[in-house]
C-alpha cells in the first residue's frame, strides 16, 4: 500500500545547483557522442541538427546518397527522440524529479543498444548498420534535449549550445561584473568541448569503447540523480 507521503516524495525536485552539475555531465556525454557519430557514422551528428540540415541540403544538391539518407535518419531520429522524451514529461512540473530520471534511464538503455551494435560490428558497421546506430544515437540526443527543456532552467541546453554561447557573451558584454550569471552556460560549453576531446582520444586509443563511455556518463547521471532524490525523500 502506498503511504500518504509517497506522492509528495515523488514530486520532490533536485536543487538547481545539483541539476546544473548533472547537465554539465550530460553535455560532456553529448560532445563525446557527436564526435563518435560524425567521425564513424558517415559525417552526421547525433544532436547538431543545424549541421545535419546543412549536410542534408548539400547531399540533395549534389545527389550524394549517403548524406541524404544519413541526414534524414539523423534529423528524423532526433525528432522521434524529442517526442518520446516529451510524452512522459508533458504534465510534469519543472525540475528534475523521479520521472525525469526514468526518462534519462530510457535514454541510457538506447545508448546501450548503440554501444552493443558498435561492438557487434567490431567497430566496422556496414551502411545499414551505421544508419541504425546513427538513428539510435540521434534519438537518444532528442530524448536528452526534451528532458533538459522540461527541467525549466533558462537556456540550459546540453545538446545545442549556439544559444548558450550567445547568452554567455551577451551577458559579459552587458554586465561584465556578474560573471556568475553565465557560469552554468560556460560550464556546459566546456563540458561539450571536453567530451569531444575525450571522444577523439578514445577513438584513437580504444575505438570500441567510445560509445560505451557515453553510456557510463549518462548512467552516472541517472544514479547520482536517483541517490539525490532518495536523500530528499528520506529527509522529507
In a domain, 146, yes or no: yes
In a domain, 178, yes or no: yes
Length of the chain: 236
Q: How many domains does the chain have?
A: 1
Residue 3 clears pLDDT 50, i.e. is over it: no
47 DSSP assignment:
S
Residue 92 clears pLDDT 70, i.e. is over it: yes
In this structure, is the dihedral angle defined by the CA atoms of residues 42, 198, 155 and 82, taken in order, positive or negative?
positive
Mean pLDDT of 118-146: 97
In a domain, 236, yes or no: no
Cell of 6: 509517497
User: For all residues of the chain together, what is the average pLDDT?
Assistant: 90
- CATH at 123: 1.20.1250
In a domain, 4, yes or no: no
Q: What percent of the chain has pLDDT over 90?
A: 75
Confidence at residue 178, expressed as pLDDT on a 0 to 100 scale: 64
Q: How many CB atoms lie within 10 A of CB 2?
A: 7
In a domain, 8, yes or no: no
Confidence at residue 127, expressed as pLDDT on a 0 to 100 scale: 95
Confidence at residue 4, expressed as pLDDT on a 0 to 100 scale: 40
In a domain, 181, yes or no: yes
- The pLDDT tens digits for 5-48 are 434 445 789 999 999 999 999 999 999 999 999 999 999 999 99
Q: Which domain holds residue 106?
A: 16-230
In a domain, 11, yes or no: no
Mean pLDDT of 147-176: 82
Confidence at residue 182, expressed as pLDDT on a 0 to 100 scale: 66
In this structure, is the dihedral angle defined by the CA atoms of residues 218, 27, 194 and 16, taken in order, positive or negative?
negative
Dist CA 82 CA 124 (whole Å): 28
Coil vs helix vs strand at 52: helix
Which residue has better confidence, 201 or 3?
201
C-alpha dist (Å) from residue 149 to 94, 127, 159: 9, 33, 11
Mean pLDDT of 96-115: 96
Confidence at residue 236, expressed as pLDDT on a 0 to 100 scale: 63
Confidence at residue 212, expressed as pLDDT on a 0 to 100 scale: 97
In a domain, 94, yes or no: yes
Amino acid at each position: 500500500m502506498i503511504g500518504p507521503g509517497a506522492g509528495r516524495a515523488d514530486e520532490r525536485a533536485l536543487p538547481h545547483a545539483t541539476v546544473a552539475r548533472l547537465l554539465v555531465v550530460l553535455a560532456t556525454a553529448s560532445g563525446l557522442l557527436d564526435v563518435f557519430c560524425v567521425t564513424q557514422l558517415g559525417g552526421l551528428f547525433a544532436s547538431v541538427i543545424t549541421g545535419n540540415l546543412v549536410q542534408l541540403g548539400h547531399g540533395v544538391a549534389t545527389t550524394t546518397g549517403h548524406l541524404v539518407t544519413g541526414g534524414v535518419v539523423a534529423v528524423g531520429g532526433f525528432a522521434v527522440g524529442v517526442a518520446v522524451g516529451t510524452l512522459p514529461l508533458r504534465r510534469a512540473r519543472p525540475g528534475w524529479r523521479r520521472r525525469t530520471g526514468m526518462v534519462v534511464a530510457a535514454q541510457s538503455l538506447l545508448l546501450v543498444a548503440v554501444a552493443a551494435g558498435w561492438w557487434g560490428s567490431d567497430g566496422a558497421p556496414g551502411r545499414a548498420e551505421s544508419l541504425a546506430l546513427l538513428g539510435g544515437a540521434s534519438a537518444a540526443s532528442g530524448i536528452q534535449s526534451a528532458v533538459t527543456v522540461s527541467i525549466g532552467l533558462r537556456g540550459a541546453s546540453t545538446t545545442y549550445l549556439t544559444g548558450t554561447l550567445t547568452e554567455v557573451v551577451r551577458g559579459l558584454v552587458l554586465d561584465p561584473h556578474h560573471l556568475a550569471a553565465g557560469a552554468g552556460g560556460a560550464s556546459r560549453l566546456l563540458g561539450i568541448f571536453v567530451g569531444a576531446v575525450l571522444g577523439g582520444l578514445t577513438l584513437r586509443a580504444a575505438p570500441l569503447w567510445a560509445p560505451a563511455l557515453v553510456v557510463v556518463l549518462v548512467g552516472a547521471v541517472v544514479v547520482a540523480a536517483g541517490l539525490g532524490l532518495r536523500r530528499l525523500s528520506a529527509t522529507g
